[in-house]
Amino acid sequence: MAKSRLGFLGPAIVIVGAVVAGLAIWFLQTVRPEAGAVIDTIAIDAHHSLVLRKETKSNRSMIELREGTEVKWQALIPHYAGAPGRPAVAWSDKAVTVRVERDGRAEVFAFAMQNSQKLGTFRLAIEHEPITTHAEGPITMTDHARSYELVGGPDWHQLVAVDILHGGGVWKADLGTAPITAGGVEGGKVWVQQGPRLRTFDALTGLETFENKPLN
């Protein structure tokens, strides 16, 4: 009797295993990320670009590195914080960072430029969470050594420098209530336009070097 039961159990295990395997394949095919419409394309040099795309099956996004029209790699990320004309990426020859928004958090994801290996994440302005991306002005600025992230709310704004390759915050500056409408990096300085004021910060240390200069 025992031999008969084992003989029946063997094929049953095979059938159950096949069913489970089939369900696993179906599940993977169903949830596998799928690149959708292009959000923005940012040129790195004459031959390479970073392309931000929607992910068709969720609220997430994708970032890809292209050489010409060839996709070198793709990486799935939370919802991309940038928009056309308002980039939220920074890069060096070794790494790329991308600003995302997830569950009320503003975060920076870092990937190896060569193969998209995830290098880490960094949360911005934790003390102000939950955070939504501000509706105007720059989001991410860069000198290709650090990204300079602007983050803010109705009554606060911060400028945070993030090391592109090694990760983590380098410095931050509290900017106050007025929204930031423009900004850039040049000559070792980070500048932001805040209402009638043009403010500049040393890119290496975050020390404010000139404040309250009226705009022409």
Give, as one character, the DSSP assignment of residue 14.
H
Residue 44: inside a domain? no
Q: 61: which residues sit within 8 A by CB, 6+ positions away?
A: 39, 52, 53, 54, 55, 76, 77, 78, 79, 80, 100
Residue 157: inside a domain? yes
Residue 134: inside a domain? yes
Residue 32: predicted pLDDT = 81
Please tell me the distance from the alpha carbon of residue 197 to that of residue 8, in angstroms, as a whole number: 82
Residue 10: predicted pLDDT = 47
Residue 28: predicted pLDDT = 44
The values of phi and psi at residue 109, to 5°, are -100, 140
Find the CATH number of the domain harbouring 130. 2.40.128.630
Residue 3: predicted pLDDT = 45
Say how many domains are in the chain: 1
Residue 166: predicted pLDDT = 87
Residue 33: predicted pLDDT = 86
Whether residue 82 contacts residue 63, with contact meaning beta carbons closer than 8 Å, is answered with no
Residue 118: inside a domain? yes
Residue 7: inside a domain? no
pLDDT tens, residue by residue, 93-148: 999 999 999 999 999 999 999 999 999 999 999 999 999 999 999 999 999 999 99
**Ranges of the chain with pLDDT below 50:** 1-10, 12, 14, 27-30, 214-216
Whether residue 152 contacts residue 130, with contact meaning beta carbons closer than 8 Å, is answered with no
Residue 10: inside a domain? no
Which structural domain, as residue segments, surrounds residue 94?
81-214
Q: 1: which residues sit within 8 A by CB, 6+ positions away?
A: none
Residue 55: inside a domain? no
Residue 156: inside a domain? yes
Residue 96: predicted pLDDT = 98
| Residue whose token pair is 């423009």 | 182
3-class state of residue 216 by DSSP: coil
Q: For residue 135, which of 62, 175, 190, 86 has the smallest C-alpha distance?
A: 86
